Structures are given as C-alpha cells and as structure tokens.
Amino acid sequence: MTARTGARIKGGVGESTYRSDGIPKVDGTFIYSSDMYMDRMLWGATLRSPHPRARITKLDIGPALAMTGVHAVLTDDDVPGRKTYGLEHPDQPVLGSESVEYWGQPIAVVAADDPEIARRAVDAIDVEYEVLTPLTDPIEAERLDSVFKRQRCRRGAEKRRGMVAVEGYYEVGMQDQAPLGPESGLAVPDGGGGVDLHIATQWTHIDHEQIVACLGLADDQVRIHHSGVGGAFGAREDVSLQIHLCLLALHTGRPVKMVYSRSESFVGHVHRHPALLWYRHEADADGVLRRVEARIVLDGGAFHSTSSSVLSNAVYHAAGPYRCDSVSVEGVAVKTNNPPCGAMRGFGAVQSCFGYEAQMDKLADAIGMDRIEFRIRNALQRGDPLATTGQVIETSMPAVELLERVRGMPLPEEGASEDPRLLPGGTGLTTPGASVRRGVGYALGLKNLCFSEGFDDYSEARVCITPFGVEVHTAAVEVGQGLGMILTQIARTVLGIEDVVVYYDDTSKIGSAGGTSASRQTQMTGGAVLEAAKMAREIALTRGNGDELDDAGVWRGGELVTPMSELVGGKPIEYHIRFHHPPTEQPDENGQGNLHVDFAVAVHRAVVDVDQELGLFRVVQIDTVQDVGFMINPRSVVGQIEGGVMQGVGLATLEEIVIEKGVIKNPTFTDYLLPTFLDAPRIEVQVVEERGAFGPFGAKGVGEPPTVSSTAAVVAAIRDATGLELNRTPVRPEHVALAPVQAGRHP
C-alpha cells in the first residue's frame, strides 16, 4: 500500500506556478477572437457617423445590397427586439436611425464575402445628414441640465475648519484602454433560429442579457462563448459588435466574423472619463486634515454606459485613504456629443486621486510639514470611517505601513546618464545631460474591490472530481490576467489533487461569474472555487470513508482506503455553488452607508528626469508598495502591478484621446502614443500581505490599485523637478516648456 508523503501539493496557492496558456501564447497557437475561422464564413463591417451630431435625412442601402458578394445590409429596421442596449441603462441604439449623437456611432452593418467587399459596401450605402451643432463642453452640458447623474457625499459639521487651506483645479484627459487585441468575434447561426457567439468580452452573461433583448429571442436561443481575449482594461465591458454580429448571422444564415481596425476600435469602445475637478483642503497647523470639499465633473459622452457608477466611485474616493470628519463632495456626470465614456482600470478613482494627492502635497507644503509625514499623520487605519461615506473600515488598511516602506526604498543613483537612450526625449532629441533636473513625487491611492452599493455580486462555479483529475467550470473571463492559473492553484490546494483543468463554459452551461472588472475575479470566482472545492472534498471524504484526499484517493490514518478509480469511477463527485460576497448597502441621500465590501491601497514614488527648456521628461523609476491581502501567485501579482503602473505612467506622460468639436483627432497608434520599452521606467515592487475581508486565503484584487496613484506620483515628480503647478494630466511638453501657461478651469 502506498504511503502518504504528506508533502505540500505542487502548484498550490502561494507559488509562482506557470499558466497553462503560456506555451500556446508564445508559440502562436493560442486562438484569439480575431483568429477564428469557419467555412462559408462572411465578414462584417460597420457604417459609422462622420458627424458628432446630425439628423439622418436619407439612408438607402440599395446600392450596397446590389453589389456582388454582399449578403446583408442591416439597419435599425432589422433589429427585431429592443432597439437599444446599455450596461446599466439601455439608451444606446443598436443602429442609429433618425439621428446620431457621437462621431463614429454605428448606423448600418454589412456582411460580405471578404473584408474588402464589406468595406466597399459600407461606402456604397447612400446616407445623407443634416449636420447639427454638437454639445461638447461639459460645463455647458451641466448648465443645460444634460446630466446622467449627480452624486454627493456630505459628512460632518460644515464649520469644522482648519487654519491652513489650499485650493486647486485639476483636469484629467480622456485615456484609451488600448488593449492590443481589437474588438472581434464570430457569430454562428444554429439553424433553429438561435445563435452562438464567440467573443472577446469581460462578462459573457451581461452581453447575453443585452443581446437576447435586442434580438427578441428566448434566453436559451443565444449562447455566448468566451474566446481568446487580447487584453481588456474596461474596454470590453460594454457591448460593441456583439449584437451586430448576431443580427448578421441570423439574417444570412451563415457564420459572420468581424474585426475592428485600430481606428474603429477607438470609436468602438468607451474610454476613461475626462474630468474637471476643484478641491479645497483644510488642516490644522499641526497637520491634521480638517475638511475636504470637492466638485467633480465627468464627461460621460453621448450615451450612459457606466457613467453613473464611475461618477459615484469618483465621489466616494474623493478624499482618498485619509481620515477627515468634515467632507462635502458634489459630483456630476454629464451627457454631451463627445465619445461615450465608461469603465477603465481604476473606474473613477484615478481621476479623484489626481486631485486629492496634488492637494495633499500643497497642504503639507503650506503647513511646512514633510509630505510623507503629513500623509502618515492622516492616513486611514482599520477602525476609521472612510471620510466620504462614513463606512468604518473593518478589515486591513495598511496605508501607514505602505508609506513607511516606500520611504525606505533605495532611490536610483543621482545624476542623469549621458547615454541618450536614458535621457528625456531619447536618442532622437538633443537634451544635454547637464540641463536635466530630477524630481521625486509620491502618491497614495485607494480603490474599492468588487461590486458595491448593494449590487448582488456573485459568481458561480462547479468543481468536479473525475477519474482523470479535477474539472473547474466557470463563466468567468480570462482577459490575460491569469485567472485560470489562480483557480487551478486554489483547487489544487483544497483538494490535494494536482491535475486541475479550468473550463470556461458558455452562458447556457453555468450561471454568471460576474464581470472581469472591479479587481474582483480572484476574490469572487476564486472564492466560489474555494467553497465548491471544499464541499467536493467533504463529499469525497464521506464517500471514501476517510480523513485525507489526494491524487491517489481517500486516506484514513495514513492508509489509502479508497483509490481514486473506486472513489469516482462509477460517478464523479460534483459540487456547484453560487458564491456571494458579504452584502453592501445603497447610499442614503448624503452618500452615506456601508457601500463597499473591501478596499486596497497602493503607494507610488516616481523619479523623473526633466529637461525644462525643451519640455521633455523621462520616468526613471517607480517604487511601489501595494496592499494585496495574500499572493496566490506572486509572479502574477508583480506582473499585474508592473502593467498597472505603466498604464498610469501613460496617463501622466503621453496618453490622451484628443477631441475637437466632438471628433477624435488621433484614433491611431501613430498619434495616440502608448509607452514603449524605452519609455518604461524601472519598477520596484513590494507588497504588504494582510488578510482582506473575504477573498480566498485573504487575497485582495490587485489589478486596479497600481493604476490609481501612479499617474499622480509621476506628475508630482515633474512638479518637484520644475516647480510648476501642472494641474493637468497628461503633462505635455508645452506645459513644461511654456509655463506658466496652465490649463484648467473652475468646474
């Protein structure tokens, strides 16, 4: 009889195991949604509005339909069910009919034999517009009461005032998620009036809900399959081409594939909300924060998407991870004819952090206190109420430890290098090393984890023990973050069985796992797998009449009593669960309540070299300490942090969708610049592991916190090097070289 080794399971939690999609992704065999292929497949293309606001006076599809190789041209008339869709409010037309409200809004879709014919057919559609003046100024929109939502947080006595006060206006530009994989999918009619959609998305079940409503089909006639996703970052939360593809497939009776070009992708998904912020902070002369007042205006663009939730989040996070008993924050998300905005990594918390962290520096300077010391003095701790909502933080809140740790991390060597690759502007530009000044900036950020405000947040999972190993079934979407590996590690640890395979089921086979968003999947689907695996283990021990389980089977008192073949040979063990996180509340009229289930904090220290005369800068290093709960996979945690920091660096230094009168001026990677290898700072990562509220093994989500405060830290460092106020992000060379020209207005 085999003896139990008692060794810890290989590849369990806490280990940097390898992901099962690693090899197919390096050898080129991994299939993304844009790689799917079927015989007799048609290609789709979309007619989009060339105006940000217009009435459609003529729409004749005849010339396009007459073309050889064109199989369908569909408009609003062909949408059989609800004519509009939307994540939280269905206000966006599937296809614009009488009018269009933003540049690039879809009006008609085409299916043809190949992509080129499809594009030519789009051009052949005869459409005429009466062009109207777009509403593009968010302040004007608020004045006209063109508003998606207003949200306030009021707490404490208004007259509780500090001796020292600082005010500031801040502005955040519109950032694009720019996942490298473009929007793409393949819809396959099932021959019985239904359809299967293979799609890169972030939440198959929420897509399903919107698709069946617009197609006017029963739930079981549409199945959404999660296919290979080339990054997401919020860009795939809203429906883009999902409904269009299903319409075309059902209409033609053939599989239809669509892949957006990069320029189309820029109008095909929502963006990070541009923000105007005004802040007033007051403190006592000894450095205790006494009052925070803020006004936040987010431009939601033409349709609702998640603007309401992003606004609420911006407001709830408006004071950051700091204690304060007297707070008044007013926020508004306005409707304009700019491109629609919605989810992006950080979800509203990024915008407020840019404001409150600049204020914390100003206030520390005004008091004459060290900036880190001032933060430590006011940092939120376990047992404190959140300044905005009043929710008492009952789980880990290691903000003070983060600040102390980052202060102690070694700074890079002083003095700019003479290697042009390491100078601001790089090899193509002419900064002499001598004119470079180095700046250092800090920022501390707060992010809620999982869905909030009373939303019924749950994830379903099924764990099966079979003679061939363990199957984990979920509808959660792997967008590249490594979820499959996390779930595998959790199942292995609980069951003691190494052979675990994760199956991403379609929407007909299992219930919702919720979105891959709000940094929630490790906690939610991880939590579901943990609980389901524990129950499966209990069943196995009872069935096998023992006290331990591993690959060999069930053991009792160190002896194998029921081998695996016997345990599950006749009937696999299966446990299905719907896992909920502890409930949250809806806010009262003053934005008060226990709205969030868990939080994470992160701190960033940026070191930036600046050539002020030329307005050039280079981010040399970012040191960060993040509150992660527990690292299920350390290598993957570091990867999330490095990637998240970089998107924050992008927003600080390069990334902005430039809009003129409602039209995007830079919808390409030639003009919308992403950080390259040479722009990448060295990133030093440390973590604090203190158990979170409910995640498996104490884990907290790690995806968003790195993006919340890295932008603020980089801009603080450029301020430090130049002495300029720099109240707008991204910082442009002209803001530095042509100072004191300052952007920003009273919102």
Partner 1 sequence: MRIHAEVNGEAREFETKGSESLLFVLADQLGLPGAKGACEQGECGSCSVMLDGRLVCSCLVMAVDVDGSEIVTVEGLGRSGLHPVQKALVDSGAVQCGFCTPGFVVAAAALLDENPVPSSDEIREALSGNICRCTGYGAILRGLDSLAGNR
State the Cα–Cα distance between residues 413 and 408, nearest whole angstrom: 15
> Is residue 231 within the footprint of ligand FES (CB under 6 A)?
yes
Residue among 299 and 704 whose Cβ is closer to partner 1: 704
Q: C-alpha dihedral over 577, 583, 586, 590, to 10 degrees? A: -160
Q: Determine the Cα–Cα distance for residues 374 and 359; give it in Å rounded to an integer.
A: 12
Contacting range for partner 1; rule: CB under 8 A; set: 55-63, 227-235, 268-276, 287-295: 227-235
Q: What b-and-e string marks burial along 342-363, b requiring 16 or more CB atoms within 10 Å of the CB?
A: bbbbbbbbbbbbbbbbbbbbbb
The first and second tokens of residue 139, run together, are 């302040």
**Distance, CA of 60 to CA of 38 (rounded, Å):** 31
Q: What is the DSSP string of 512-555?
A: ----S-TT-HHHHHHHHHHHHHHHHHHHHHHHHTSSEEETTEEE
- Residue 632 binds which entry of ligand FES, partner 1, none, with Cβ cut-offs from 5 to 8 Å by kind? none
Q: Which is nearer to ligand FES, 182 or 629 (CB)?
A: 182
Work out whether 650 is an interface residue with ligand FES (CB under 6 A): no
- CB of 180 or CB of 658, closer to ligand FES: 180
What are the Cα distances from residue 279, in Å, to 168, 275, 284, 353, 451?
5, 13, 17, 11, 27
Calculate Rg over the CA atoms of the chain.
Answer: 27
| E strand or H helix at 707 | helix 705-722
- Secondary structure (3-state) at 119: helix
Q: Which does 261 bind (CB under 5 to 8 A by kind): partner 1, ligand FES, none?
A: partner 1
Q: Residue 638 touches which of partner 1, ligand FES, none (CB < 5 to 8 A by kind)?
A: partner 1
**Residue 339 interacting with ligand FES (CB under 6 A):** no
Q: How far is the CB of 228 from ligand FES (least distance, A)?
A: 11
Min dist CB 87 to partner 1, Å, is 22
In the list 341, 638, 693, 713, the residue contacting partner 1 (rule: CB under 8 A) is: 638
Residue 527 sits in the site that holds partner 1 (CB under 8 A): no
- Residues 420-439 touching ligand FES, rule: CB under 6 A, are none
In the bound state with partner 1, the residue whose beta carbon lies nearer, of 281 and 604, is 604
Within 10 angstroms of residue 284's Cβ, the number of other Cβ atoms is 13
x/- track of binding to ligand FES for residues 471-490 (CB under 6 A)? ---------x----------
Sign, CA torsion 629/631/634/639: negative
The angle subtended at Cα 526 by Cα 523 and Cα 532, nearest 5°, is 130
Site for partner 1 contains 67 (CB under 8 A) = no
Structure tokens at 425: 């502007």
Here the tokens at position 551 are 């690959």
**In what helix (H) or strand (E) does residue 117 lie, and over which residues does it extend?**
helix 115-124
Tell me: does residue 23 bind ligand FES (CB under 6 A).
no
- Using the rule CB under 8 A, is 68 a contact of partner 1? no
Q: Is 608 in the site for partner 1 (CB under 8 A)?
A: no
Residue 657 engages partner 1 in binding (rule: CB under 8 A): no
**Binding string to partner 1 for residues 476 to 495, with x set by CB under 8 A, is what?**
---xxxx-------------
C-beta of residue 170 within 8 angstroms of C-beta of residue 354:
yes
Considering only 163, 180, 218, 429, the residue that binds ligand FES (CB under 6 A) is 180
Q: Could you tell which of partner 1, ligand FES, none binds residue 668, using a CB distance below 5 to 8 A set by kind?
A: partner 1
Least gap, CB of 180 to ligand FES (angstroms): 4
In the list 680, 737, 739, 743, the residue contacting partner 1 (rule: CB under 8 A) is 680
Residue 285 binds ligand FES (CB under 6 A): no
Interface residue list for partner 1 (CB under 8 A):
16, 18-19, 21-23, 25-32, 34-35, 37, 115-116, 178-182, 229-233, 259, 261-262, 419, 421-422, 427, 479-482, 635-636, 638-639, 642-647, 668-670, 674, 676-678, 680, 683
Note the residues at the interface with ligand FES (CB under 6 A).
Answer: 180, 231, 480
